Amino acid sequence: MSKPHGVTRLQAYHIQTFPLALTLIGVIAVAACSSQESSTTTSSQPVPPAVNVAKPLRKSIVEWDEYTGRLEAVQSVEVRARVSGYLQSIHYKEGSVVQEGDRLFVIDPRPFRVDFRRLQAELKQAIAAEDNAVAQFRRAERLRARKALSEEDFEVRRTDKLGATANVQRARVAVEAAKLNLEFTEVRAPIAGRISRPFVTKGNLVHGGTGEATVLTTIVSLDPIHVYFEASECAYLKYIRLSKSGQRPSSREVRNPVYLRLADEEDFPHRGHMDFVNNALDPNTGTMTGRALFDNPDHFLTPGLFGRVRLPGSGRYEALLIPDAAIGSDQTQKYVYVVDTANRVAYRRVETGSLVHGLRVVRDGLSADERIIVAGLQRVRPGIEVTPELVTTEEKPEPLGPDDAMPVPAGEAESSQ
């Protein structure tokens, strides 16, 4: 091979090896890029998010239905005047608690005292007339026996005696009525309870009797006290079906427990029992009226207050409970996220019930051994892998004890009236 003109042997060697060097450099560059791309791909893989999971709590429970109730006195009385006259004095402190028989008002008794004394005198006069008529009749009987008195005169004596006896009876009744009217001038408390203010002040004329008698004040009883509430038609039908199936006794037959919470209370500290269910639904509202009775020895519960009442809405049964925060809403559907054995998230529709001990009842869609996500929901979606940490489902203590759903038979109840 002839050498190019003017090119040395060393130059010719460099010209021959240059393409090979370029090839080696390209291979090394491609290998370096491949290694860098593989390293970048490996480092960009996402780390499974950490979530808290828990298993549903299996517990024997009784579901409780809640209603808005209003407190009313068992007895409420309008104190009215029973005789007419001028109000002479008032003998109680406004808003205080009075006992049955306490003197409240005094109507001027002087006219009634005079009338009572007059009728007493008339009674004595009638008794004297009766004694005279009886004596005349006995004399007439002796004369008649001796044939010294005609039958006509004898009948006159007998009639006089009967009339005198009737006059005595009429006079006695008049005296008793006058005595009652005199007693009625002292208006006394017909029941024990808290009394209102006087509606009539001293010196005013009040009217008695059964017609337009003047209302002097009102008294409401305090212990025990009633709570009235309205249940919907659907709730009423549910209670009827539970009673027929034997799962929950009817409140018409047993003293089902009822709990009360006032406006400023968080729990339900007041315990009572059902004592009345109405005989028909209100056609205007479609609701059934129920009533519960509560002991009120400290007079804390006051007629007119509103509160929330709880009563058993089911029989006792085994239920699955989960935290309410674990449940999501998809329009009208409720759902939870379940973590399977491969730590992958699955979407699960569930049917929920009421809150019991701070947890939500799950009626359908879950089993007791499944794991649901209770924290970290914002970092998951169906199908992704997660890093689960198992936590315990904790229930909230409530004042409703395990025996509170056990009703007391109505035969053991004391009369509430």
If you average pLDDT over every residue of the chain, what do you get? Answer: 84
Residues 274, 377 within the same domain: no
Average pLDDT over residues 225-244: 93
Highest mean pLDDT among 30-34, 163-167, 224-228: 224-228
Kindly state whether residue 411 falls inside one of the protein's structural domains.
no
How confident is the model over 317-368, as pLDDT tens digits? 888 898 888 888 888 889 999 998 888 889 989 998 888 878 888 988 888 8
Residues 119, 253 within the same domain: no
Domain count, the chain: 4
How confident is the model over 122-147, as pLDDT tens digits? 999 999 988 888 888 888 888 888 88
The closest of 209, 288, 229 to 66, measured between CA atoms, is 229
pLDDT value of position 19 = 54
How confident is the model over 202-222, as pLDDT tens digits? 999 999 877 789 999 999 999
Half-sphere exposure of 281 (CA within 13 A, CB side): 12
Residues 159, 178 within the same domain: yes
Say whether pTM exceeds 0.85: no
Residues 227, 310 within the same domain: yes
Q: Which of 203, 220, 237 is the last residue of a domain?
A: 220
Kindly state whether residue 8 falls inside one of the protein's structural domains.
no
How confident is the model over 39-59, as pLDDT tens digits? 444 455 678 888 888 889 888
- Residue 272's pLDDT band (boundaries 50, 70, 90)? very high
Residues 343, 324 within the same domain: yes
What is the per-residue DSSP string for 183-222?
A: HHTEEE-SS-EEE---SS-TT-EE--SSSSPPEEEEEE--
pLDDT at 80 over 70: yes
Residues 91, 177 within the same domain: no
d(CA 301, CA 299): 6
Place of tokens 């409780």: 64
Residues 309, 231 within the same domain: yes
Residues 212, 134 within the same domain: no
Do the beta carbons of residue 229 and residue 72 sit within 8 Å? no
**CATH number of the domain within which 69 lies:** 2.40.30.170
Q: How far is CA 308 from the centre of its chain?
A: 5
Kindly state whether residue 5 falls inside one of the protein's structural domains.
no
**Percent of all residues in the chain with a pLDDT value above 90, rounded to a whole number:** 43
Strand intervals (E) in 207-344:
215-220, 225-232, 254-255, 257-262, 270-277, 287-294, 306-312, 317-323, 328-330, 333-339
The closest of 370, 332, 368 to 351, measured between CA atoms, is 332
d(CA 67, CA 290): 10
Segments forming the whole domain that contains residue 97: 78-108+185-220
